């Protein structure tokens, strides 16, 4: 049973498994937003001699059961990456495990390298969902370079696209990752041909565009007052934000295997939605909730990134996260312009922001006289420390004299 993308790695893998293991290979493509045509991918797999191929459209499930929990958790690995590739892995493994059991497969294979994070996600998830099956990771075993893979493909009559020769691309509805080639030089700006979803900021429209995102219980339910299903909302916002050059991410990322890597992503919808969600949380949650939840969010994100989606701790953390989202209802207005996004307005029926308390120009229920006593108590220990510090310094000076 092979997780098949239709790309270079997994196409080479079919022939390699057939040759090395004399295996009958069943392939499955789980569509979470890849650009490839599923019919063409299936035809390619069949032309390479697979026993059977499965095409599974899982975009709706991916949006509802994986992306929406990530929004609630403000999932940004190391503060930048919306874990777009990460989130799809446990879903792909779950679908593979179902088919493997149905077909009586003896092993599950994936196309992850020995240098990346995906091998961790696939292996742990397979071990949790299909513990009796052998895990085969051909790329880890054959240790081919990309050029060697391309040569192997030519020898075996496997079609190689122009894109495969230049970049390694992984795409889902939540984001697009671009790796390899010139991008590995972390000092150089990514060439414009690496991007597909986002307009170069300098070529983006000269007029800003405003979008309003409505949230209910922490998840987006409407865009510009139009109620939309999860998948439709994400796809529409990807196009709108991408048109304005929003969502480009270029950062140095710490992989699980200890390597620091230069990563390029395009995540227009994810960038906008998570920023808007965090802003709305600050309006409706207490300071204590916000600060504590930041720790929970970071731990949830790390578990997902590190391949531990199926660890019980993720569900434990989600129990808190889901409870915290009960009042995260409201609208956030975002300005998109030349690669930037700016939160310019927010409103909520559960808002803790009270204009009457904030306003300096009108009489309010806020009794300013209370502040003096509060300040005395709030700074008590700080003052005591510095008084004692000063006395000790004076005593030391006298002793020295």
In a domain, residue 357? The reply is no
Q: Are residues 159 and 34 part of one domain?
A: yes
Residue 118 is among the residues annotated as catalytic for this protein: yes
Q: Are residues 192 and 93 part of one domain?
A: no
- Strand intervals (E) in 298-348: 330-337, 340-347
| Domain stops at, among 124, 150, 167 | 167
What pLDDT is recorded for position 364? 66
Neighbours of 282 (CB within 10 A): 13
In a domain, residue 73? The reply is yes
Q: What is the C-alpha R_g of the chain?
A: 26
What pLDDT is recorded for position 357? 73
The whole-angstrom separation of Cα 324 and Cα 350 is 13
Q: Are residues 303 and 204 part of one domain?
A: yes
In a domain, residue 358? The reply is no
Q: Are residues 154 and 202 part of one domain?
A: no
In a domain, residue 133? The reply is yes
Active-site residue (options: 11, 84, 89, 275) = 89
Q: Estimate the crossing angle of helix 268-284 against helix 230-243, to 10 degrees.
A: 110
| Domain stops at, among 146, 167, 188 | 167
Active-site residue (options: 84, 88, 168, 348) = 168
In a domain, residue 355? The reply is no
CATH number of the domain bearing residue 120: 3.40.50.620
> Are β-strands 330-337 and 134-136 bridged in parallel, bridged antiparallel, or unpaired?
unpaired
pTM of the model: 0.91
In a domain, residue 327? The reply is yes
The whole-angstrom separation of Cα 59 and Cα 56 is 9
Q: Are residues 389 and 304 part of one domain?
A: no
Residue 9 is among the residues annotated as catalytic for this protein: yes
Q: Tokens at residue 365, please?
A: 């229920």
Q: Tell me how many domains the chain contains.
A: 3
The helix (run of H) or strand (run of E) holding residue 222 is: strand 219-223
In a domain, residue 188? The reply is yes
Q: What is the mean pLDDT of each run of 10 residues along the chain (401 residues)?
A: 90 92 95 91 94 97 98 97 96 97 96 89 96 93 81 86 71 94 93 96 98 98 98 98 98 93 97 98 97 98 97 98 98 98 97 78 74 91 93 88 62
Q: CA 87, 247, 231, 180 torsion: positive or negative?
A: negative
Active-site residue (options: 11, 88, 118, 123) = 118
1: helix, strand or coil: coil
Q: Are residues 285 and 338 part of one domain?
A: yes
In a domain, residue 98? The reply is yes
User: C-alpha distances in angstroms, 40 versus 32, 53, 378?
Assistant: 16, 12, 67
The whole-angstrom separation of Cα 370 and Cα 36 is 64
Q: Are residues 329 and 301 part of one domain?
A: yes
- Strand intervals (E) in 104-189: 107-109, 134-136, 168-172, 175-179
Active-site residue (options: 9, 170, 275, 297) = 9
Q: Are residues 86 and 43 part of one domain?
A: yes
Residue 329 phi/psi, 5-degree rounding, is -125, 135
Residue 311 is among the residues annotated as catalytic for this protein: no
Q: Are residues 314 and 184 part of one domain?
A: yes
Pick the closest to residue 83 from 95, 92, 73 (CA basis): 73
Q: Are residues 207 and 82 part of one domain?
A: no
Q: Are residues 372 and 274 part of one domain?
A: no
- Domain holding 40, by residue range, is 2-167
Residue 168 is among the residues annotated as catalytic for this protein: yes
Q: Are residues 182 and 288 part of one domain?
A: yes
CATH number of the domain bearing residue 179: 3.90.1260.10
């Amino acid at each position: 049973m092979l997780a098949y993308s239709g790309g270079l790695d997994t196409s080479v893998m079919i022939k390699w498994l057939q040759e090395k293991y004399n295996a009958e290979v069943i392939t499955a493509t789980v569509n979470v937003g890849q650009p490839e045509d599923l019919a063409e991918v299936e035809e390619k797999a069949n032309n390479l001699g697979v026993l059977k191929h499965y095409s599974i459209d899982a975009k709706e499930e991916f949006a509802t059961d994986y992306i929406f929990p990530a929004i609630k958790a403000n999932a940004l690995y190391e503060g930048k990456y919306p874990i777009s590739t990460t989130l799809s892995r446990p879903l792909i493994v779950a679908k593979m495990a179902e088919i493997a059991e149905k077909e009586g497969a003896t092993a599950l294979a994936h196309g992850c390298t020995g240098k990346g994070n995906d091998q961790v996600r696939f292996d742990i998830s397979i071990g949790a969902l299909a513990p009796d099956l052998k895990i085969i990771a051909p790329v880890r075993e054959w240790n081919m370079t990309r050029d060697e893979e391309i040569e192997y493909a030519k020898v075996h009559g496997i079609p190689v696209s122009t894109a495969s020769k230049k970049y390694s691309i992984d795409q889902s509805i939540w984001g697009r990752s671009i790796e390899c080639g010139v991008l590995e030089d972390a000092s150089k700006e990514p060439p414009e041909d690496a991007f597909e979803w986002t307009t170069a900021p300098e070529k983006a429209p000269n007029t800003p565009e405003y979008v309003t995102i409505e949230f209910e219980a922490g998840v987006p339910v409407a865009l510009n007052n139009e109620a939309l299903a999860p998948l439709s909302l994400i796809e529409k916002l990807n196009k709108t934000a991408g048109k304005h050059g929003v969502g480009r991410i270029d950062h140095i990322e710490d992989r699980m295997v200890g390597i620091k890597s230069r990563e390029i992503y395009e995540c227009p919808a994810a960038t906008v939605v998570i920023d808007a969600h965090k802003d709305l949380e600050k309006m409706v949650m207490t300071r204590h909730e916000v600060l504590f939840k930041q720790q929970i969010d970071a731990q949830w994100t790390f578990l997902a990134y590190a391949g531990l989606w199926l660890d019980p701790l993720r569900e434990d953390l989600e129990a808190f996260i889901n409870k915290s989202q009960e009042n995260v209802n409201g609208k956030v207005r975002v300005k998109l312009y030349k690669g930037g996004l700016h939160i310019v307005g927010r409103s909520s029926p559960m808002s803790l922001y009270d204009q009457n308390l904030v306003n300096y120009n009108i009489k309010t229920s806020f009794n300013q006289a209370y502040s003096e006593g509060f300040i005395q108590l709030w700074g008590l220990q700080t003052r005591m420390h510095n008084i004692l510090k000063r006395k000790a310094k004076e005593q030391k000076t006298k002793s020295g004299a």
